[in-house]
Structure 1
Amino acid sequence: MNTNSSLKKNLMYMFVCTIGVQIVNLIIIIYISRVLSVDVVGLVNLSQAIILYFTLLTLFGFQTLGSKEVVKSVEKDEIVYSVISIRMIIALLSIVVIAIIAMLMTKGESFSTILLLYSLTLIPLCFNLDWFFTGIYEMKHNGVFNVIKVIIPLCIIVAFLKSDSDVYVIPIAFLIGLIMAGCYHIYKFKSKGFSFSKRDRMKRKLLLTMALPFVMTSILSTINGNVDTIMVGELLNEHELGIYSNSYKLIFFLISMIAVLFNVTYPKLTKLKGQELRSFFGLLTRVVIMFAIPISIGGFIFSKEILVLLFGKKYIEGSMTLKILMIYFMVLFIRELCAYSLNAWGKERIYLKIIGISAIANIIINYIAITNIGIEGAALSTLFCEIMTFVLMALSVRENVNLSYLKETIKILPAICLLTAILIVFKIAEINIILVIPISILVYFGVLYKSGYLNTLRTFLK
């Protein structure tokens, strides 16, 4: 199978799996937001934001490194045992640290209990073997793992979560989902003749050392993505936290969608050189611009309607926050192309340095903005730091390829202007958002088709 055919197959497979899982996640968020009060939703989201750092610490960068080692190693059993044992030690230590954090934070007994229950999910997380199945080119098992991980919590939450007093159902549901998904991975691992019996202490030490840069990168990237939620939780009240964090949940949903595009194109970015690389980078730029701008414009104009449609009128005051975050999403979408490219071209140190600078700036600016402006300040500081990160990464990427963001934007400007005009008219006429979305998509892509620009997408998928 040639590279382009493989790219298309992986894109479609990962797209379907990711879309399905993320839609289920969104349904869970919507259900929780409509059943619970804004304040309690804020506490749940804060605990999830904190747990995310310990999740990344437990995974310890093996999602990337582990796959590479499995591909080139004969003793795959040793790698799996080493990774799981490293993760288990980190998970147990993390639970102790989380318990201390729960005692020190002044968010009440309910929050402490939610956080502690979420910490237990780190143990079954150790048995997430998606990196192993990626390494042996059987990613279908990862799709099943992710489906189990979200479907079981959805069923439990819908069945048992009826009011604020049932809030503990949420972390318990996710814990059960991860346990069942982990059991599936273990079963498939053993059914292929592998075992957990092969142990190599030196291999474990080597993997631990090799994984450090990966986990550092993940944590610094996450600081840029969700430190605002944690700081809003610490500096403002639970109600404001609930309003802000739910707006960001929508952005996170969109970010999860674009990850599909970059994950499947990453291998090709690592292999191509010279003119082939420049041509492919230009093609990828056109695809990014084609989707980033219209999604952001639509979300900006109809921010209020989107929040009401999904979460209810009690979240309407987050409209301005979502508008700012939609601009942030557009910048992030464009910036991610530079980020993946830097890693693909062996410039991990430059990437790590940039996100390190951005993470420090994010914490400082968020503190100043949140204490003076509130949740809109958190959104503005996140946007500002993302723009700064994009500029720094773009300057580094220009050493390898020519950036054509402005040129590609000008090419689709007629379609963007028409779409914006239609959206404004629909907004003034108070047309239902459920009708606005499909009509806008048809108009936008219809104009791109007539102009021939849509051929870019066809070329990309070939």
Structure 2
Amino acid sequence: MKVIKNFLYNSGYQLLILMVPLLSTPYIARVIGTHGVGIYSYTYSVTQYFVIIASLGLSMFGSREIAYVRNDDSKRSSVLWGVIALQISLAIIVTIIFYLTVGIFAKYHLYFLIQGGQILYVATDISWYFVGLEDFRTVVVRNTLIKFSGLGLIFWLVKSPADLGTYMLILVGTSVLGNLTLWPFLHKTVVAPWHVNWNNPLRFLRPALVLFIPQIAIQVYLVLNKIMLGNMINVTASGIYDYSDRIIRTILAVVTSVGTVLLPHLAAAYSKNQLSLINKYFTKAVEAVAFLACPLAFGLAAIAPQFVLWFLGSNFVSAGPIVRIMTPLIVVLAYSSLFGSTLISINQNWGYNLSVIVGCLVNVIVNLFMIPLLGIEGAALSTIISETSVFVVQLIWLKRKHIPISSLEKIWKYMLMGLIMGVCVFGISALLSNSFTSILLEVAVGALLYILGGLLLKFPIFIDARALIVSRRKSH
């Protein structure tokens, strides 16, 4: 039951991180316009390279290490303060390098200066500590008010394309403030830094670097498409791709929460050498991902053009087909997130590293051919190909480590019902007008069809849920 509760909290947290950009997207798309959105996307993407260097993989490393020692106050405090010291030191160094380097981008100098605040976000981020403790509630509750305050500021202060800098300041500022609200909660669970044996924080540098390699690779194929589109075509193309990608990843946030929640559970089980428990968690997670990802992918594919036109407006009508092309990413990325979390939890860092390095290389190579040939569609296809290569490498590595990947054979029911639902929703969408009410009706009908079909096909996850409910009733 704790896993389910943490999943709900983490889903909320991941959605919350994207909530302000998503809820403000229709407004910003119309007020700032495609050119302004393109500038934001381009400057954000370039800044992310500095952000990833500052983070050094410490977030994922920190969560895992905290999960390993969460029952020992002294060791837990030592890990926390050591990682924080390293995190802040790196952020200071990278900030100096960033502001010395940003001068070369004279055209968007002011916007780069604002985007540099993202590095401060890295320096103040301690959400990884609460993830390691499986205390997702604190993170979600503390950030909710800050994020929605930021949303209000956007609607209040951003009124024209000239307010693009204000929009950036609001996003950066609320992110940092959200991090700072978590710090007062540390005193409840950790020993003060002056009472802790730090054992030299630099000892974390080498193991964190192992996780830093894939973070660089991931960042390359997350933002490279936008930068290459901006350079090879124009910033407007970069903005259209960015908004298409943002829609996919916002929907995906719910599904990838499975892997995030599972990481501390698997890490704790691995530290106790409980292999059977690891296999049990993994098998259930595979089914949970299929249950969520399949209807989301097929459903979005069915309504993508209509949804994008309503959501972003007529200026972004070309993003509709791009979103439809990219919908397979919902399934592929959901499983690569789960597999990646599993590999890190069981200390198979090099398997994880290899997968994302392969994905990065594939992305760069395919982009060089696909973007000149097909433009934005080429960038979308390149992303699908590269992410699929990540999935395949991780799958092979997990099989070598005797993780029960045969559980993937059970997801055919979810795929079949997702496909049937998608075809039905596509047919309905062709008959209805393009409005919020029509989209809401299509989503409701699709959800109902999927659940009823799941009951007929006897989804394994429904059987497990029923057994859980019965056992809890008996215990009470």
TM-score, normalization: structure 2? 0.85
- In the alignment, the residues of structure 1 paired with residue 424 and residue 286 of structure 2 have an alpha-carbon distance, to the nearest angstrom, of 25
- 1:92 corresponds in structure 2 to 92
Assess if the C-alpha contact under 8 Å between 1:50 and 1:230 holds in 2: yes
On the 8 A contact 1:255/1:333 being kept in 2, the answer is: yes
1:251 aligns with 2:248: yes
Q: Does 1:347 align with 2:348?
A: yes
CA distance, structure 2, for counterparts of residue 228 and residue 76 of structure 1: 39
Residue deviations 1:66-115, cap 9 Å, x none? 3425734616665554434433332233233333553334xx63x32112
Comparing 336-345 with 246-255, which one deviates more in the overlay? 336-345
Match of 1:34 in 2: 30
Structure-2 separation of matches of 1:278 and 1:198: 39
Deviations 1:278-308 (A, max 9, x none): 4543333222222222221222222211211
**Structure 2 counterpart SS, 1:156:** helix
**What's the CA shift string for 1:312-342, capped at 9, x where partnerless?**
1111112222122112222222333332222
Find the counterpart in structure 2 of residue 47 from structure 1.
43
Query: Is the Cα–Cα contact under 8 Å of residues 153 and 173 in structure 1 kept in the other structure?
Result: yes
Structure 1 partner of 2:462: 455
Provide the rounded CA distance (Å) in 2 between the counterparts of 1:193 and 1:412: 43
With over 3 angstroms needed to count, the CA separation of the structure-2 counterparts of 1:191 and 1:295, relative to structure 1, is: closer
**Aligned CA distance change for structure 1 residues 229 and 303 (closer, same or farther; 3 Å):** same
2:434 paired with 1:438: no
Match of 1:398 in 2: 399
Task: State the partner residue of 1:118.
Answer: 115
1:148-180: CA deviations, max 9, x gaps? 552232122111001110111122113332443
Q: Answer whether contact 2:59 2:128 (CA < 8 A) is retained.
A: yes
- 1:226 is aligned to 223
Aligned-partner Cα distance in 2 for 1:333–1:341 = 13
**CA distance 1:436–1:49, change in 2 (3 Å):** same
Identity %, equivalent residues: 18
Deviation at residue 446 of structure 1 after TM alignment: 1.4
Give 1:448 deviation, angstroms: 0.7
The answer to whether residue 371 in structure 2 is matched with residue 374 in structure 1 is no
Moved more, 265-274 or 425-434: 265-274
Does the CA contact (< 8 Å) of 1:11 and 1:264 recur in 2?
Answer: yes
Taking a change above 3 Å as real, the CA distance of residues 236 and 293 of structure 1, as seen in their structure-2 partners, is same
State the aligned residue count.
455
What per-residue deviation string (whole Å, max 9, x for no partner) do you get for residues 210-253 of structure 1? 32112223222232333212222222201111111100111121
Q: Structure 2: which 5+ residue stretches go unaligned?
A: 470-476
The one-letter code of the counterpart of 1:218 is: Q
Q: Cα deviations across residues 373-424 of structure 1 (Å, max 9, x unaligned)?
A: 2111111111111122222222222231443477434334653343133123
For residues 179-229 of structure 1, the C-alpha deviation after alignment (integer angstroms, 9 at most, x for no partner) is: 433442333335778545568785122122332112223222232333212
- 1:405-416 correspondence to structure 2 within 5 Å: 407-412=409-414, 415-416=417-418
Note the residue ranges of structure 1 that are not aligned, 5 or more in a row. none
Confirm or deny: 8 A CA contact 1:152 1:173 kept in the other structure.
no
Give 2:158's aligned amino acid: L
1:59 corresponding residue in structure 2: 55
Give the C-alpha shift of residue 136 in structure 1. Answer: 5.5
**Contact conserved, 2:131 with 2:264, CA < 8 A, in 1?**
no
Match of 2:74 in 1: 74
Moved more, 252-261 or 187-196: 187-196
In the alignment, structure 1 residue 300 sits paired with structure 2 residue 307: no
Query: What is the Cα deviation at residue 44 of structure 1?
Result: 0.7
TM-score, with length taken from structure 1: 0.88
2:328: which partner in 1? Answer: 327
d(CA) in 1 for partners of 2:91 and 2:264?
30
Alignment partner of 1:350: what SS?
Answer: helix
The residue number in structure 1 matching 2:472 is: none
The answer to whether the 8 Å contact 2:303/2:426 transfers is: no
Shift of 1:276: 5.3
> Aligned Cα RMSD in Å?
2.9
What code does the residue aligned with 2:34 have?
V
- State the match for 1:160 in structure 2: 157
- The whole-number CA distance in structure 2 between the counterparts of 1:188 and 1:197 is 17
Which residue is 2:290 aligned to?
289
Distance 1:461 1:99 in 2: 54
